[in-house]
A and B are shown apart, each in its own frame.
Chain A
Amino acid sequence: MTEILIISHSSEIAEGTRSLVSQMAGDTVIHASGGVEGGIGTNIDQINDMLEKIEDDTICFYDIGSSRMNLEMAVEMYDGPHQLHISEAPIVEGSFLAAVENSVGSSTEDMLEKLKTMKK
């Protein structure tokens, strides 16, 4: 089943989004991480740590500034067996939609198509 990865500058945003999305689609695997060393920020190590844990194809969501750059680099360097997709959709709305679609059995491709209509 498609997994969701959320990368934010803030741990509260990452965890808050996870708990919001989990309420609707609790069986979707959500990897969420935010902030660096207790402060605000993103870095590639934080994303690599999450990528090590994924067990299926994954749609990744990011927030402001350098998070996209770090996410792109981590995805480009990933050499695991699963497909990783970066979505341009906003993290709250996007991950929510993906999780709900997941719970009704949509394919990763269908989810990506729907997510394309949600731009930041």
Chain B
Amino acid sequence: MNAEKLLEKMHGLKSIFDEKESELTGLDREIGDGDHGVNMKRGFSAVNDKVSAGSTQDILKQTGMTLMSSIGGASGPLYGFSFVKMSEVAKEEIDGENLLEMLEVFDRTVAEKGKVEGGEKTMYDVISKSADLLRDKGSLSLEDLQQLAEETKDMIATKGRAAYFKEQSKGTIDPGAQSAVYIIHALGEGVEND
């Protein structure tokens, strides 16, 4: 994946989040404060407006900075900072091996900054398993990523706003896990690991 393709993917997330706004808001209304859909939509609209050209590193860094300043809640800084950190390892042509490296950085950044572990019903449950998925299957399909998000359904939230819902958080996919599906799919689509 070259810079041009990456930019197209980042811009493409605007229409994905336009389309998925009500789905994410619905999930967040169940176990959060109901603003995840509108936040993600606002973030990637801003990316679409503001991120225009440059190397893969530039595009990832600008995307990150834009997300940090335009998405509220914890997801903005976590996604945003992860993109900034991924920009530091991205190569000019992102191949499977480089994508693995980027996903490992994504994993570490969210774990460290979000102080989160697996199984706490957060975006991390999708992010932390995506590198393994890429290693095992050689690519990141929407179906496989969605399966990771589905696995958060039966978890009881212990981190973030959803944790206040305790047992009642069961039965709903974590909205952050769901938005992570779309973001990682955009990063991984068309990049094969061979």
The proximity string for A residues 54-98 relative to B, scoring 1 for CB distances below 8 Å and 0 otherwise, is 000000000001100110110001000000000000000000000
Q: Across the interface, name the chain B residue whose C-beta is closest to A66.
A: B74
Q: Across the interface, name the chain B residue whose C-beta is closest to A41.
A: B72
Please, which residues of chain B bring their CB within 8 A of the CB of A70?
77
Task: Decide yes or no whether A44 CB sits under 8 A from chain B.
Answer: yes
The proximity string for B residues 69-87 relative to A, scoring 1 for CB distances below 8 Å and 0 otherwise, is 1001110111011001000
Please, which residues of chain A bring their CB within 8 A of the CB of B80?
44
**Among B69, B73, B84, which residue has its beta carbon within 8 angstroms of that of A66?**
B73
Main secondary structure of the interface of A (DSSP, over half): helix
Task: Decide yes or no whether A22 CB sits under 8 A from chain B.
Answer: no
Task: Decide yes or no whether B166 CB sits under 8 A from chain A.
Answer: no
B173 to chain A, nearest CB (A): 22
Q: Across the interface, name the chain B residue whose C-beta is closest to A43.
A: B69
Task: Decide yes or no whether B127 CB sits under 8 A from chain A.
Answer: no
Q: Across the interface, name the chain A residue whose C-beta is closest to B109.
A: A73
Please, which residues of chain A bring their CB within 8 A of the CB of B72?
36, 41, 43
Please, which residues of chain B bring their CB within 8 A of the CB of A43?
68-69, 72, 76-77
**Among B69, B77, B84, which residue has its beta carbon within 8 angstroms of that of A69?**
B77
In the bound assembly, the distance between CA atoms of A77 and B81 in angstroms comes to 9
Main secondary structure of the interface of B (DSSP, over half): helix
B180 to chain A, nearest CB (A): 17
In the bound assembly, the distance between CA atoms of A74 and B141 in angstroms comes to 34
A36 to chain B, nearest CB (A): 8
Using A69-B113, A69-B114, A77-B84 as known contacts, say yes or no to A45 and B69 having CB atoms under 8 A apart. yes
In the bound assembly, the distance between CA atoms of A43 and B73 in angstroms comes to 9
A89 to chain B, nearest CB (A): 19
Please, which residues of chain B bring their CB within 8 A of the CB of A44?
68-69, 77, 80
Please, which residues of chain B bring their CB within 8 A of the CB of A73?
68, 77, 81, 113
In the bound assembly, the distance between CA atoms of A46 and B98 in angstroms comes to 33
A70 to chain B, nearest CB (A): 6
List which A19-62 residues lie within 8 A (CB) of chain B. 36, 41, 43-45
Q: Across the interface, name the chain B residue whose C-beta is closest to A37.
A: B72
Please, which residues of chain B bring their CB within 8 A of the CB of A66?
73-74, 77
A34 to chain B, nearest CB (A): 15
A43-B69, A43-B72, A73-B113 given. 6 additional CB < 8 A pairs? Answer: A41-B72, A43-B76, A44-B68, A66-B73, A69-B114, A73-B81
Closest 3 CB pairs of A and B: A45-B69, A44-B68, A73-B81
